[in-house]
Amino acid sequence: MGTLAITVHRPAAAALRRAAGAIERRPVLARWLLAGPGALLAAVLVMAAMPVWLPAGAAGVDNLVYPIVLAPLIWTVVFVYALLENSLPRATAVLTGLFLVDGILVALTATGTIHVNAG
C-alpha cells in the first residue's frame, strides 16, 4: 500500500518541487506578480464569490453589501499577506487556492448551477 502511494504521488510531488524551485529562483519577479496582479485578481474573485457563501441576513442584502463595502480591505489583506509571507511557494499556493475556490464558485453561479443567497 505504501509503495503504491509513493509510486502514484512521486511525479506530482516532483512537479511541485520543480515549480517551487522555479518560483524561488526568481524571488523579485514572483513577489511582484503575487503582490501586484495576483493580489488584485484574488481580491476581485473573493469579492465576486462572497454573495454566494455569505448569509443574506434579515434584510436580504448583507451578502450584496459586504463585498462592495469590504473590497478595499480584501485587497489590503491579500496584498500585505503576499508582501510579508516569507515562503514564496506557500504564498503562490494560497493565492492559487483563492483563485480556484472563488473562481469555481463564480463560474458555477454564472452557469446557474448554484445560486446566490437570497433573503
Partner 1 sequence: MIPISQPQMKRLTAVHGWSGVILGLLLFTVVITGTVAVFADEIARWSAGSSTERGIDRPIDGIVRDLAEKLPLFYLDDVAVWKTDAGELMAFFHSHAENPATGQPDEYGAMFRIDPASGAVLDRNEGFMWKQPWAWDPSALRHFLVDLHVQLYLPDPWGLIVTGVLGLLMMAAAVTGFLMHRHMIRDLFVAERPGARLVSARDRHVLASSWSLPFAIVLAFTGSFFSFATTVSFPIVAQVAFGGDREAMAGTLFEPPVVEDTRRVRAADLDAIRAIALDEVGGPLTFVSIHHYGRADSRIHVWHAADDGRLGFTQTVFDGASGAFLGVKPQVGNSPSTGNTIRTLMWPLHVGDFAGLVSKAVWGALGATTCFVILSGLRLWVRRREAEPLWRRFGRALTVTSLGLPVAMLASAWAYFLALPAADPFFWTPLGFLAGAVACIVLGLRVATEDRLRALFWRILTWACLLLPPLRLATGGTSWAEALARGHGEVLSIDLLLLAAGGLMWWARSRSRARTIVRDRPAMEPAE
The upper half-sphere exposure of residue 66, i.e. CA atoms within 13 Å in the direction of its Cβ, equals 19
CB of 31 to partner 1, least distance (A): 7
Report residue 26 CA to chain centroid gap: 21
16 vs 73, beta carbon nearer partner 1: 73
6 vs 24, beta carbon nearer partner 1: 24
Which residues of this chain interact with partner 1, rule CB under 8 A? 31, 35, 44, 47-52, 57-69, 71-73, 75-76, 79-80, 83-84, 86, 106, 109-110, 116, 119
Task: Return the amino acid letter for 41.
Answer: L
CB of 75 to partner 1, least distance (A): 6
Q: Is 64 exposed, middle or buried (0-12, 13-18, 19+ CB in 10 A)?
A: middle
The upper half-sphere exposure of residue 88, i.e. CA atoms within 13 Å in the direction of its Cβ, equals 18
10 vs 72, beta carbon nearer partner 1: 72
